[in-house]
Amino acid sequence: MALSIERFLTLRPYLYHLTAQSNLPRIRRMMVLESAIQIFGNAGKTELSRVRRRGHREIEVDGEIIRVRDQDPLHCGNVRLAPGWSFEDLIFYLNGYVFFWPGTHAGPSPYGERHYERYAHEKPAVLRVATRELIAANPANQIAFSAYNTGAPRCTMGKGSPRGLRTFGFASDFEFPPTRVVEAAFQSQVQLPCSTEIAGSPNGPWAQLRAA
């Protein structure tokens, strides 16, 4: 089974990303979102790539402090790991991606709304980008899809949520219909198009990221 990109673009024309306000100067300058692994590597702290983050991490890269979000909801007991995988393997795998919540012009999916609500007291920044434009801005970096909230697994009928190399899949091998996409992600880093917007909540009001 393959996922229809065109169908996904129709259903989820926008993607949303949450970040700390303090990260915005670097994001605006570079117009790039970086994975945790890339940030840790640039800081010379690759050992952090396999360690679950309890609370946010502040990492210095080239004299700038980057705030990397916590992994507090990632509980080992709620995960069913693929054969041969350790919990540290899963952490390393997830740290290699930049994550987005799919949605429409009106806002992200309920998963994205709940993610924002968890951190709303911190007054984070919310980025909104047209899905088609983000894909076009990253021609060498395929968008990947997951049918799970990868960072906040839950048990269902006593069974942990499955995690392994197939947690994310490209459109060509995604096993579910577009309506089942919970997260979209890109490996390593993602280039943001100039049309990327920013707001203080998933419901706006929106302004251009570059001009804000």
pLDDT tens-digit map of 171-210: 999 989 999 999 999 999 999 999 999 999 999 999 999 8
* Residue 157 domain-assigned (yes or no): yes
Q: How many CB atoms lie within 10 A of CB 157?
A: 4
Return d(Cα 40, Cα 194) in angstroms, integer.
26
Work out how many domains the chain is built from and give that number. 1
| 210 assigned to some structural domain | no
In angstroms, the CA 204 to CA 198 distance is 8
Q: What is the pLDDT of residue 175?
A: 86
The residue with tokens 């994975």 is: 35
pLDDT given for residue 69 in this prediction: 97
List Cβ neighbours of 147 (8 Å cut-off, separation of 6 or more): 175, 176, 180, 181, 182
CA end-to-end span of the chain? 42
Residue 174 lies in a domain: yes
Contact 59, 70 (CB under 8 A): no
Grade residue 2 by pLDDT with cuts at 50, 70 and 90.
confident
Average of per-residue pLDDT across 20-37: 98
Q: Is residue 48 part of a domain?
A: yes
Global pTM value: 0.96
pLDDT class for 212, splitting at 50, 70, 90? low
- Please indicate, yes or no, if residue 205 is contained in any of the structural domains: no
Does the residue 209 lie in any domain? no
Is 171 within the bounds of a domain? yes
For β-strands 161-163 and 79-81, DSSP reports them as parallel
Inside any domain, residue 208: no
Place 20 in a pLDDT band, splitting at 50, 70 and 90. Answer: very high
Domain of residue 130, residue span: 5-200
